[in-house]
Amino acid sequence: MAQSYDYIIIGAGSAGCVLANRLSEDPETRVLVLEFGGSDKSIFIQMPTALSIPMNGTKHNWRYYTLPEPGLDGRRVHCPRGKVLGGSSSINGMVYMRGHARDFDEWEELGAKGWGYANCLPYFQRAESWKGGGDEWRGDTGPLATNAGNEMENPLYRAFVASGRDAGYVTTEDPNGHLQEGFGPMHMTVKDGRRWSTANAYLKPAMSRPNLTVVTHAMTRRVILEGKRAVGVEYERGGQRHVAHATREVLISSGPIGTPHLLQRSGIGPAQVLRQAGVDVQHDLPGVGENLQDHSEVYIQYACREPITLNGKMGLWSKFLIGAEWILFKRGLSTTNHFESGGFIRSDASLEWPDIQFHFLPAAMRYDGKEPLKEHGFMVLTGPNKPKSRGHVRLRSTDPYEQPDILFNYLDREEDREGFRRCLRLTREIIAQPAFDRYRGEEMAPGKDVQTDDEIDAWVRETMESTYHPCGTCRMGEDGMAVVDSELKVHGIDALRVIDSSVFPSEPNANLNAPTIMLAERASDMVRQRPLLPPSNAAVGSAPGVGQSQRSREPLRKI
């Protein structure tokens, strides 16, 4: 027999867990959550320092790969997505960065009415519990615990911040507060030494409610339509097909890859794409799966002259001791993601807000933990944060287990190629400052022989990797390529919303987990038809001399 609920949420990820909690607060509302993945009860998920294991495994990760990327000499790029309770918040790097205020004003300019910074800030605050306490910009009573890790205990973190200051940039005490721009601490979603995913923060506290049903290992095959209204879903579990009806709405929170894939399987998307895959067209919506964008980065690595880096902790005995300390006391190096300092700068003073982000790591290795330097080293991960290149997600068939075609078109635009050139040259200039004289050894990657534009371009094509921030495939707006309106309702279909990072019109200038959670918090009020929180009038800081420093006196222009 078909089951009936008020709301069906597809995906228990960063957004879906938030929705599950907020919608089920009303005891009269029946909520079903369908998640293809399973339990997050793994030491490798819960221990922050072990982040590379779930991110690169197969049990908790969809492990998508792109088509051969033309701009990367045909390389296929790994695109991890969470396949577990908590979704990508259970396998990501736990970096908590909101983005610049102007990122959200840009959303509004692109057609996402009401999603400017003043309207978003109260929901960032409602979501979080910042260890430093609440103020005009930060929240201290929300479910999502955020902190600064081990407070830059390793001296290399502070050297990186000081080197940014030496290079002429500002410093910021809180990049999620008044002033994002500059060099300073980076924050993370960790609580009491554990990864604080949305499963831990939102879903688990709500799972004892009798009106919330969570079904794992459930593959949603399609959204069921009656005419132009979503009335339920068909899903598969344990080899059996099931149908669940939604008396109010179906809410898709399957992420920037899974959401367009599901919509297309349901007959909602570009008609030609659907027909080629053998899907009957229920609703021709050309923007579904288009506008795919992502942050990408390169690793700039240096040898370290002092034995103080994480490269000295790679042996089995050191790892055992670090793990044992976590199991027994939830403290030490196991409780951090190791990205404890970073920076946001404008690559050119004529820009209105930063377009380059730095993650600093007191180790030299790959993001997946492989190929660490055998000697002590440190590295800067950096890339242009406002990419212009766009790609797509397109289904291949009606089979939900067959991965869709994913193409980011990395480096398709000259602006993005020039962005990487600037990232490398500016990073070299920053690391060359006096604050690093004590620590700086030889540049290991890309190496001193990589200098010209052509040499840099070739190195980037060979080594560039995703930062794992895809978004935009079901973007908000009112034009012909928009998929959802400003209330996240799918254009032309009643009782169907998309609530995840696929609706972002453009990439925020930061990691995407924090804005995804904010989006779901605000969307939950829309779904419940509750009054939205009043806009904030908190001031937005900017670096002194914007438009008249950082190597340029050109008039301000938009990124």
Report the catalytic residues: 469
540 among annotated binding-site residues: no
Compute the distance between CA of residue 547 and CA of residue 11 in angstroms, rounded to an integer. 44
Compute the distance between CA of residue 366 and CA of residue 350 in angstroms, rounded to an integer. 33
Phi, psi of 466 (to 5 degrees): -65, 145
The 3-state DSSP class for residue 316 equals: helix
Compute the distance between CA of residue 22 and CA of residue 534 in angstroms, rounded to an integer. 18
243 among annotated binding-site residues: no
Crossing angle for the helix pair 513-527 and 117-127, nearest 10 degrees? 100
Compute the distance between CA of residue 370 and CA of residue 166 in angstroms, rounded to an integer. 32
Compute the distance between CA of residue 251 and CA of residue 19 in angstroms, rounded to an integer. 9
Q: Which residues pair with 391 in a beta bridge?
A: 292
State both tokens at 470: 């895809």
**Cα dihedral sign, 10-15-17-23:** negative
Compute the distance between CA of residue 349 and CA of residue 555 in angstroms, rounded to an integer. 9
31 among annotated binding-site residues: no
55 among annotated binding-site residues: no
94 among annotated binding-site residues: yes
Compute the distance between CA of residue 403 and CA of residue 68 in angstroms, rounded to an integer. 15
Contact status, residue 193 vs residue 330, Cβ threshold 8 Å: yes
Number of other residues whose CB lies within 10 A of the CB of residue 165:
16
Q: Rg (Cα) of the chain, in Å, rounded?
A: 23
Crossing angle for the helix pair 117-127 and 101-109, nearest 10 degrees? 130
Contact status, residue 164 vs residue 157, Cβ threshold 8 Å: no
Q: Which residues are annotated as a binding site?
A: 84, 92-95
Q: Which residues are annotated as a binding site for FAD?
A: 84, 92-95
